[in-house]
Amino acid sequence: LMRWVWSLAHAHIGLAVCNMWSSSTEAFSYVLDVLKVLSPVSRMEEDPYSLLDEIIKAFHASVPFQSVSLISVEPKHRTAAPTIEEVKSAVVSGKGGLCYTLNSFMKALLEALGYKIHHCTSDIGSSD
């Protein structure tokens, strides 16, 4: 049951991630100004793979994976999935979040930069 609920929540977020960034300029600004990755626009043209490696490393170093924001909310007030605005706000503010927040944000960011991205579902449950 938990896998099914997570998959539905993940699918809900995935439908809206394309609307997270108003333009590629905004996404490149996030990479430069927040992640502190230098010259992302020219590097995207010259060597997108090394740029991708640096974006991922910078993202993991600056945006926390955390569950405090989830467990601090009473279960009856938790939603199945955060809105796309909540995802963007949590990451841009530096608050971070769970895997579906971070992965949805990163998917939208990379797509806005020009990468072709696909979500892959997974879970941490047992193989039973």
Question: pLDDT tens across 77-91, in order?
Answer: 777 678 888 889 999
Span 6-14, average pLDDT: 42
pLDDT at residue 100 in the model: 83
For 93-96, which contacts have Cβ atoms below 8 Å and span 24 or more sequence positions? 94/62, 94/63, 94/64, 95/64, 95/66, 95/69, 96/63, 96/64, 96/65, 96/66
Question: pLDDT tens across 25-59, in order?
Answer: 999 999 999 999 999 999 999 999 999 999 999 99
65: DSSP letter: B
Question: pLDDT tens across 69-128, in order?
Answer: 777 778 877 776 788 888 899 999 988 888 888 988 999 999 999 999 887 777 776 665
pLDDT at residue 10 in the model: 43
